[in-house]
Structures are given as structure tokens and as C-alpha cells.
A and B are shown apart, each in its own frame.
Chain A
Amino acid sequence: MIPRRSDLLATALLAAASTGVLVGDLGPAALRVTAGLLLLLVLPGYALGRALFGERSLGGPERVLVSLALSTAVAIFDTLLVNASSLALTRHTWAATLGGVTIVGCLIASIGADVKPRMGRLTLPRVRDIALLAAAIAITSGAIALGRTPLDAPDGVTGYTELWLTPRDGRFELGVASEELGPATYRLILVADGRVVRQWSRIGLNTGGRWVKELPAGVGRSTGSLNAYLYKLDHPKTVYRRVRVSPGASASGP
């Protein structure tokens, strides 16, 4: 019995192992990714497909299609059912339920008699084919790597700088973030009722750099508005960014 149903045994063991890895958060990330992919996309559909159609009634492509479609459907229904219960959708609930479905599917499949024909044969690739596939994998990996690599900006595309002034817990957060294409130096002034109440004359930031100041609640409290003006030192006369709040109205924060 075991040799004939060894695939079911292997499926059930894989499901149990994957569930264990995911529930226990075991092993490296690559192992958890593999376990998750197997448990969601492969094993439930395979087990249920075996339970439904037996060992031999489907050809190879049909078996793949049925397994993938059933796995997808199980993922959908499993999510709906867990949501309908008092449980939350978490890695633990998903792993446990999908593992359970797979093992139950394997049990049902192992009980049913196999009365259908074996279909299809797996043909191993030749050495030349393996070489071609390896080249294809290498080229595709290169294409993906190129696609994922951030490249230089085209001509005319500039970076930008973010300036914000946000009420927070009775105080203000004043911030500058540089997304410019190179290092930038700024001057930042804080103006209340036409008077400069604070000034930072040289803020140097590299690309991705951030400058944040927490302003006490007293800053500009008595005024109608508090304005922050940001200048780039290479254009010192031009306001580059500006923000404005009304402390009296918004000090309570968002």
C-alpha cells in the first residue's frame, strides 16, 4: 500500500512539516517562503485532486491544472471560513487550516480505491536541454535584476525636497527630507507675525537624508500663523518650499 500511495504520504508529511515551520516560525526566511508557497499553492490542491480524481484518471497537464485551481480555491474558501469564525486571519490560522485541509485530503485519497489509468510520463531533459534552460534562467535573472535596479534619472528629471510642519501632541514637528539627486544645503527660517522666530542657516543633507526638529508648544502660540520657509543655498533668494500652520487652532494635533 505504501509504495502506491507514497505521494500522499509525502504530501501529508510536507504539509505537516510546512505547518510546523510556519507556526513555529522556524528556520531561515528561504525555508519559510518555500513552506508557505507549498502550503498555499501546491499541497492542498494536490491532496484534494487526488482525493477527488484518484491517482490515475488525470493526465499531467490536467493534474497540474486541477491542483493549482483547487489550491487557489482552498485559499479563498479557507480565508472566508476563518474570517467567518471568531479567529483572526494570521499566519498561524492560515498555516493550521491549510495544513489540516491537506492532511485530510491525503487521508481521503488514501482510503479511495485507485481504479483509473495512469496517464502521461515525465521525460527527463537531455544535457543540451539542461544547458539551454540554465542559459534561459541566467538571462531571465539578469533581466529581472536589471529591471529592479534603480537607474540614473533621465535628463530634466530632478529630485525634490519635502518640508513639513505638523502639529503633534501639543508641539510641532518641523522636518526636511531630501530626495534631491545630490547633496543639498538648505536654510530654514520660522516666521511668526512677520518676524523670524527661529532660523537654521545651514542644513546639509545627502540624498535620502532627513532633518527633523521638535518645536515646543510656545513657538508662535500667540500668533495667527506660523510659517516655515525653506531655501536652497544655491538659490538663496528663492523660497523653495513653504508650510504654514495656525498654532492656536491646530496645536491639538491630527
Chain B
Amino acid sequence: LRILMVAQFYRPTIGGEERAVEDLSMALLHRGHDVAVATLSQEGLPPFEIDQGVRIHRIRSTTQRAGALFSDPSRPHVPPAPDPEAARGLKRVIESERPHVIHAHNWLVHSVVPIKKKLKTPLILSLHDHSLVCATKRLMRGERPCSGPALGKCLRCASQHYGVGKGVATTLALRHTAGSIRSAVDMFVPVSEDVARRSGLVGSELPYTIVPNIVPGRLLETNGAADVEALRLPDPGFVLFVGDVSVDKGADVLVEAYSGLSNAPPLVLIGRRLAPALEHAPAGVIALGKVGHATVAEAWRRCAIGVVPSVWAEPFGIVALEAMAMGRPVVAAESGALPEIVIDGETGLVTPPGDAVALRSALERLLADPDLRRRMGAAGRRRAADFSEDLVVPRIEEIYRTVMPTELADRVRSVAPSAAPLIGGAPAGAAVLDAPAPAPPDEEPLPVPPGRGWGAVPVLILFAAIGLALVAVADALSRTGHTGGRTLLWAGLLTIVVPIAFRLGSSAASRGERVALVTLLGLALYGIKVLHDPFAFTFGDELIHVHNANEILRTGHLFGDNSLLPVTPLYPGLEGATAALASLTGLSSFGAGLIVIGLARVLLTLGLFLFFEAVTRSSRVAGLATLLYAATPNYVFFSAQFSYESLALPMLAVLLFSVARYQRGAIAGDRRQWAVMILVLIGAIVVTHHMTSYAMVLVLAATSILYLVVRGPRARLGPWPFALIAAAATVLWLVLVASKTVGYLEPVFSHAVSDTFHTVSGESAPRKLFRSNSGQVAPVEDRILGIVSVLLLVAGLPFGLRVVWRRFRRNPLILMLAIAAVAYVGTLGLRAVPGAWETASRASEFLFIGVALVLALGGFERWGIWRAPWFGRVALCAGAVVLVSGGFVAGWQSSLRIAQTYRIDSNGHAIDPPGVNAARWSGRSLGGGNRIGAENGDARLFQLYGRQFALAGTYPDVQDLLHSTALDPWEPGFIQKWRFRYLAVDRREISADPLAAYFFPRPGQWNSGLRDPDAVEKFDRDARTERLYDNGEIVVYDVSRVGR
């Protein structure tokens, strides 16, 4: 990004404001931006030079020629009005630099305004003082704070300050130009809340963002008192004041307070002597006058307490921050922005301005308590870290992005990966070591601004729609038994994914476009699942959850029965929201469920994108990572089904984003808001899904530990309070509401562990890969694609991990994701373990968040797409498409990825599968709530459509009961023990498969196998049974008399 700083003075002229401009310029330069400065010319300095990479243009001003107007001719301040000569000079500079944004810092901005309209370049104005409303810039009337501007008052005040002529002219000029400044500036950037308030920004319509000054790393550097001035410092433990020794700065108040102290250490005053405060200074006061920076730093290092007793409203108070950065407690006056920086009782003590007694008391308290000084010093050092350039400069970049045209906005982010991380970034000193070389200047031509259009989004929406149409045709062909469906399904998938992947890899896409594209991708892939069966839910888990929603609607209460998965009603988040939507809108549970899961998909994609963006500060990396997350095998089908994890996982993504923003809130000032957001999400996740809540606790705990390891004392920013709260909430819910979960999950995990040992030791055979539960073997092309994608993933991870280590190793959140990525590779082995593959599969949707980010980082590093535009982009796009396709084939068995025959038409009448109608009959003829044993697939239908208390599977052992070829002696007792009233016997083998049992069987196809007739008809041979229902596939028996 090309940035032009406009400041009346710049290096080598040094003052507080000049230092702030220089610090910001250098920081932006180090982050890969192209920075130029336009400033007033100075005698002996060339009109143009390059200083440490910053191009400095020195321009003449007309007022500058009247040197007699200025008390210090070396600092010819510009007036608050356009200066013709300066305006011409600025125009030339702007034409040669062609900046994307102009960042002004003082009244020189008035000379930008006349040319700004023609250029249409965004203009930002930093407010380092009160110059927006006050002719003297101080907002003081004599020695008292001013209550606010008023013409008469200002004329008098400015006249006293400047002299009558200059004072009146300055006041009138400021008032006259106020309107043009307010309309020309796109964003005001006051350095503190106090400046924002006193400048009238708070409560106004003017756009503004508070961004503090930077505490650069060099403030922490001392040269060990090598310079001569430092030799004049007393022994360590003195009280230190740094600044002009003036009434405004409260020097006289400090001396008065100090004179009353007993056994006081020396008081060192560093700065110009502008007031008679020292005429009667007591013994112990050492005035060093103006000294070099190294001596100041050394003085901070040696002192016991820093004092900032300013009477005037300090716009920022960098001196207090310097003291805090050196780990010193600060006694500050409650004036201006000082209370925003010094936290009373935590990093120092705040006293009323001008109150010598209170100041003395505060000094006494601190001098008497070394422990308190140490604690406050440590807290101050942590607080000062919040003002490091790692945290402040991204906010400036964010402002640039905000004010720029959408097409250019992403420029800020496109260079960001080269910079040190925002969240958990290194302290200022270390960041230099960790940061890679700055990205090259933005030399490639800017994309042609597409007017006020939406970039490529509309075209890609059209592509996605065509892709979905192809999928719909593919499904229709499959439902009607025609060939060609599989090819069309792939064509549809690729029509959706490839254009989006290609555009996301482009450097021309704006941030808004990327947001739209990842959302489009998520919804379009969800569309594939919806089009699979747009009549009704047909996935096994969906039938269980939609029953819960129906029960809520029927009974008006939560926590009803679910005989097939009793734990599900105890986590009613999804079903509660769905029931609410169904009830409010009158839609069916199916329709409402589709909407809720669609909403969840938006939360997932948007949450992941914003999370990735927050931790990497790159929308380009975020876009690619979100795309790569679609390569998780669960993405297209499993995570899109109507099931509790499909809502909980997206909320976890939003929580991760909130945690990242919470960390950033330390500087953005919105930590409390994000903390509330995190707490809300913790609660919502805990009541929605057990496994996701455990994953949430693990993620928060792991991140907290990494904070401790990486950040040391700065770990206070870590999310450990949330980890504790999440753990407590999860346990409480488990104990008070969902205790059944233990019995449900314990066998799953213990089985996974024991089976892993057995498989590794060779005691049991490994699971055959690419084979479904129903025994279907994946086609060879699916197997090849699956293997290639896994190899690509495993091969790509080291590149990404290398980037993580080089750039983000001090970033706990990214480290946590890197660990998750490595863990994912570990789970790949578990897919060969019969009892553990499902657990590994479920874990993948969490771990893949890390995989996606690491691969995205590695992809950009490896191919450097902005340096080799077409090749890198094509390679990256191709890799992403292979991974997404590999995930697609690995996630769902091949025969079920495409629609099966579910509802068929006969002369205008829709025929549903026999299982559905058998279940409906049971509800209609037998009433609901009967205990009925059935095959796994049928049982779900009987529960949902017949409202029966259905049981299936191996506990109780309904499976053996239904599959044995004769009524074995144990069976009557079993029927009686479990109080079965009915049994549904299905002659189709596929009926035991909870994924595939719901469709019309096709002769000679994968789902057409039949059971042993002896097993199917054995209840006919027992006179105690009654054969109540027969539809050719399913027979329902009344077995209530069996076993009596």
C-alpha cells in the first residue's frame, strides 16, 4: 500500500508529535508498505531524500517565509488554513507518489483539502492534540483547563498566547475552515478518548477511531549509561520527572509535594526549564535539563517512581507509557488522557491535578512499599505492551482499509502475512527478530476498479448455481436409474469449487469479495446435501434429531424421550432452535431444520474466515484456509446434516474468532464486549453438543497453556478464564442434566483405545479402508483420489509448519492450530482401526481447522502467488481442488453421495419408501409410544413417523433377535424382559444400515440383498404372535404374548 504522511515537521526535527509520525512511518514500512512523507522544508536539508526507506519530500510554505511570525524560526508552524505554496507542493508530491491513502497529522492538512476533492484519495487526520477545535491546540485557559471553544473566549485566549494579530487570525481561520476539514477528512484518528471527547467527535456524526501512539521498542533500549549525561544521574531509587519543567506539566506542584516528603530520595527533573518552579527547589531536586534519549531510558531504568503531574489535559501521555514500559510505577495526574493510560491502583496511582497534598501522599505510599512498586511496575510493563506497534499498527491498517474503495481495501491485508502476528505477537524488541523480511513494495498494477460492482461475486454465484443445477440433474438421473449421474455430480462439484478457488487465490479480490466467496462456497456445498433429498431428512442421525424437534413441538417441553439415542434430547440447542422456528413460521420441522443448518453453515464459513483473518491478518490466507477447510471429509455431508454437532461446530468457529478479537480488544478497547460474546457462545455450545463442548474446553485450555509458555508474564491476555468457565459449565451440564452422556461416550472411547492396542499388536485385523458399513467398496478412482489428497495434505503440512515456526511461533492461537494439524495426521492412522475410525473421523472436523490454516500458510509460502501470479495461482487452486475432492470422496460412501430413489411419482401420486409408510401406519393404527424392536434403519423411521419407542442394534440385542432363524430359547424371555409389544421384521439386508436403509431397493443393485427366509418368517411359526401388517418388505408382529 502506498501511504503519504503529511506532517509539518519530520526528522531531524524532533518533538513528541514528530516522533509519533516517524515511529508510525517506520512501522508501516517494516510491514511492507510503501511510505513517503511530505513535510515543510528546512534550511540545509534537501527537498527530497530517502531516510531508512522512507521517501521524504520537503515543500515550501508561504507562511514559512515570514519568519518573524514565529517565536522559534526553526519551527515555522503552518496556520489552520490552506497555504497556497504548500498546497501546490503537496499536489506535486501526491501526483508523483500516487498514494492510496493520505495520512495527515496536523494543520498542514488544510493545504491538502483544496486538492483532495479532485484526487479522491482517502484522507485521514491523526489528532495528536486539540488542534481541531483550539487555536492554541492546548484547550487551556491560562493555567486552567478550558471548558470548550467560544468565539470571544478563543479570541482573547489566542491573543494572549500568540499576540493579538496572529491570535485573531489563527482563531478566525480555524473557525472558518472547520467545516471543510470535517467534510474532507474520511476518518479522524484521535490518540485518546480524551482528545476525541474534547474535539467534539464523541456523539457527533464524524467518523473517528481512537488509536493510541506507539511505544516503539527503542524506548526499552539503553546503552548502559554510556553517555556522559547519564553519569549525572544519582544512585538508583530516585523519583523521576521527564518533560518540560513548566506549570502546564505540573512541575511546581511536584516540587511542592516533594518538599514535604521526609527521607525522600532525590527528585530528578529531565527537560527544558520553562517555569520558575525551581527557584526555591528544596535539596534533593536534581534538574538535568534536556538530555539525550539514552540518558532518559537509563534514568527510567534506575528510578523508583515516575511522576507525570500535568495540570493541562495531556492528549496522550507518552511519558507515562515510557515509565511503564520500563517497569516503573507511575504517579499521574487525573488530567487529559493520563487516566486512560495509568490504571489507578494497578499500574500506578492517579491524583487530582494540581493537588500537591494528594501527590505527596501517593509518593509516600509508593516509596514506603517496595512490593507495591514492584507489582505496579510489572503491571505497567504488561499494560505498556498493549501499545506496541504489533498491536497498534494493524489498527491503522484497518482504518486505511475502511476508508479506501472496496477494490483497494484488501491491499492492506495482502501484505500482512509478512508481518509479525497481531494476536500474541512478539514484544516489540523480539518482533524484529521473528519478523521475516518485509514484503516487496506493491509494484504490481492495481486491479482495474470495477466501478461500484461486486467484483467477481455475481459471476461466481452464477457458476455455483450452474453447479447446483448439474448436481440436481445428476441426482435426478440417479433417482430414475439412469447412468451418467456420477459424472454430472463431479461436474457440478467442480463447477462450484474451481472458480471460487481460483478467485480466492487472486490478489485482485477484495476482502469483501473473499467474504462473499467463502460464504457462497459453504452454502453451495450445503446445497449439494440439500438437493440430495429435498423431500425429507434421510440421514440416520437426522431422523433421530428431527424426532426430538417434533417432540418439543408436540409436548411443549424439552428433554423428551429418544429411545434410539437417549443422550440427544439432553443437548437441545439445535432442536430447540428448530422447534422455535417451525412453531413461529408454521414450517415443517424439515423446512425449519434446513434453514437452521443453512444458518449454521454461514456461521461456520464466516466464523472460520474471520478467525483465520484475525490471527494471520490476511484475508487472502483466510480465504484459502476457509476453502481448504471444505476438504475435511465431513464437510459436504456429515457436518451439513440435521444433527447437533452441525450447529455446535459453527458456534465453536465463532468462539475462536471471538477469542482472537478478545485478545485484540486489549488495544481496540472492546475486550469486555468480546468476553461477553465468548461467554454466550460457551453456554450455547455446552447445551448443544457434548463432543464439541469437550473440544472447546481442550482448545481453550491448550491455548491458555501455550500463552503461558510463549508469552510468559504477558499471559494475562490468554483465554484461561474462559477455559475454566467452559470446563465448569461443561461439567455442570454433564452432572446436572446430561449424566447419560458418560454411559454413551465411555464405551466409544474405551473401545477405540482397546481396539487400537489390539490392532497395533496384531491381535485383531485392521479395518479395510474404502469400505462402508454396508460392505460397499469404493470405486478405484475414489480410492486413488483419496490417497492422492492425503499424500498432498501430508506433504504440504511441513511447508505450513515451517511458516508457523518462522513467523508465528510466538502466537499461541496459531501454535494451537499447528498442533491440531499435526494431531490430524496422527488420526489418519486410526482410520485403519475398526473401533477407532469413527472417533478419528469425528475429531477431524475440529483438527482440520488447524490443517486448513497450516496448509494455506504453506501454500502461499511455497508458491508465493503474488510473485508468480499465474503459475502459483493455478498450482494453489489445483491443490485446493484436489484436497476438497479427496475430502468429498472420503466423507460419504460412494453410492450415497448421489441421490437414491426415495419418492417416486405414479400418475401424480408420490410414493414414499415402504419403511416410511410402515412407520406411519404404526402411528395411525397402533398409536404412539409402543415398544417396538426393528432394524437400525427401520427403527429410526418408526420413532420419527410412528412416534414409537423403538429399539434397535445390539443393546438390547434386537439384532440377534431379528436375525436368528428360529425362536431360540432365550428370545421369549428377552422379549418379555424388554417389554417389546411389537417387532418389525424387514427382509432387506440394507435395513440394518442406518445410512442407507431409507430408499427403494433396486433389483441387482447394492441395496437389494435379502435375508434368510427362515429368519424373516420365524415369528409366523409361533402361534402367540400376531401378524398385523405386511407391505411386502416389512411385517409388523404383535409379540406381547410371547414369553408370557
Contacts and interface: CB of A to CB of B under 8 A. Distances in A.
Contact of A120 (B402, B1002, B1033): B402
Contact of A57 (B196, B512, B670): B670
B684 A72 contact: yes
B1030 A61 contact: no
A180 B557 contact: no
Contacts of B464: 136
A52 B676 contact: yes
B535 A148 contact: yes
Per CB-CB distance, the 10 closest pairs between chain A and chain B, nearest first, are: A154-B481, A88-B556, A36-B584, A36-B585, A79-B576, A143-B472, A150-B905, A136-B465, A132-B458, A208-B909
B1027 A243 contact: yes
Contacts of A132: 458-459, 461-462
Contacts of B1026: 244-246, 249-250
Contact of B453 (A40, A125, A177): A125
Interface string A51-77: 011001101111011101110110111
A144 B465 CA distance: 10
Interface in A128-149: 128-130, 132-133, 135-137, 139-140, 142-144, 146-149
B481 A157 contact: yes
B911 A65 contact: no
Interface in B985-1041: 1000-1004, 1020, 1023, 1026-1033, 1038, 1041
A144 B472 contact: yes
Interface in B868-883: none
Contacts of B1002: 154, 156-157
Contact of B1027 (A35, A224, A244): A244
Given A139-B469, A241-B1030, A39 B584 contact: yes
A115 interface: yes
A2 to B, nearest CB: 13
A150 B461 contact: no
B553, B599, B1020, B1027 interface centre (most CB from chain A within 10 Å): B1027
A32 B583 CA distance: 10
A102 interface: no
Interface string B431-467: 0000000000000000000011110011101101110
Interface of A: 4, 22, 29, 32-33, 35-37, 39-41, 52-53, 56-57, 59-62, 64-66, 68-70, 72-73, 75-80, 83, 88-91, 94-95, 98, 113-121, 123-126, 128-130, 132-133, 135-137, 139-140, 142-144, 146-157, 159-166, 168, 173, 175, 177, 179-182, 206-208, 224-225, 240-246, 249-250, 254
Contact of B476 (A147, A164, A225): A147
B925 A83 contact: no
Contact of A148 (B534, B668, B677): B534
Interface in B540-596: 552-553, 556-559, 572-573, 576-577, 579-581, 583-587, 595-596
B466 A37 contact: no
B603 A89 contact: no
Contact of A153 (B451, B462, B901): B901
A147 B584 contact: no
Contact of A79 (B558, B651, B910): B558
Contact of B399 (A117, A148, A152, A207): A117
Contacts of B927: 254
B1009 to A, nearest CB: 14
Contact of B584 (A91, A117, A144): A91
Nearest to B902: A150
Contact of B556 (A60, A90, A208): A90
B654 A65 contact: yes
Contacts of B1020: 244
Given A89-B552, A90-B583, A151 B1028 contact: no
A36 B581 contact: yes
Interface string B462-504: 1011101101110110011110000000000000000000000
B451 A126 contact: yes
B556 A89 contact: yes
Q: Which of A118, A240, A245 has its CB near the most chain B CB atoms (within 10 A)?
A: A118
Interface stretch (B47-55, B204-212, B324-332, B724-732): B204-212
B1028 A243 contact: yes
Given A40-B577, A52-B676, A72-B599, A151 B585 contact: no
Given A76-B687, A80-B558, A154 B572 contact: no
Given A72-B603, A136-B461, A139-B468, A181 B1027 contact: no
B907 interface: yes
Contact of A144 (B462, B515, B531, B607): B531
Nearest to A230: B1030
Contact of A53 (B557, B610, B673, B1028): B673
B1031 A161 contact: yes
Given A69-B651, A243-B1027, A76 B453 contact: no
28 contacts: A32-B584, A32-B586, A35-B584, A36-B587, A65-B603, A66-B677, A69-B603, A72-B596, A73-B683, A75-B576, A76-B572, A77-B684, A79-B576, A83-B557, A113-B203, A118-B207, A123-B512, A144-B530, A147-B472, A148-B535, A151-B479, A152-B480, A153-B480, A154-B480, A162-B917, A166-B1028, A245-B1028, A254-B981
Contacts of B670: 53, 57, 116
B800 to A, nearest CB: 25
B683 A77 contact: yes
B914 interface: yes
Contacts of B535: 148, 150
Most central of B586, B981, B1041 by chain A CB within 10 Å: B586
B641 interface: no
Contact of B580 (A40, A116, A156): A40
A161 B1031 CA distance: 5
B430 interface: no
Contact of B581 (A37, A168, A175): A37
Contacts of A57: 668, 670, 673
A119 B402 contact: yes
A54 B673 CA distance: 10
Contacts of B465: 135-137, 139-140, 143
B1041 to A, nearest CB: 6
Nearest to B573: A76
B903 A37 contact: no
Contact of B905 (A33, A118, A152, A243): A152
A244 B202 CA distance: 83
A65 B610 contact: yes
Given A83-B558, A143-B527, A164-B921, 8 more contacts: A41-B599, A65-B603, A73-B683, A77-B683, A88-B556, A88-B557, A116-B670, A151-B904
A131 to B, nearest CB: 8
B468 A140 contact: yes
A138 B274 CA distance: 76
A160 to B, nearest CB: 5
Contacts of A121: 406
Contacts of A120: 402, 512
A177 B515 CA distance: 52
Contacts of A35: 584-585
Given A91-B584, A165-B1028, A157 B1023 contact: no
B584 A22 contact: yes
A97 B953 CA distance: 41
Contacts of A137: 465
Contacts of B1031: 160-163, 179, 241
Contacts of B899: 147
B657 interface: yes
A89 B1037 CA distance: 36
Nearest to B1040: A250
Interface in B496-530: 512, 515, 527, 530
B606 A61 contact: yes
Nearest to B899: A147
A125 B558 CA distance: 45
Interface in B657-682: 657, 668, 670, 673, 676-677, 680-681
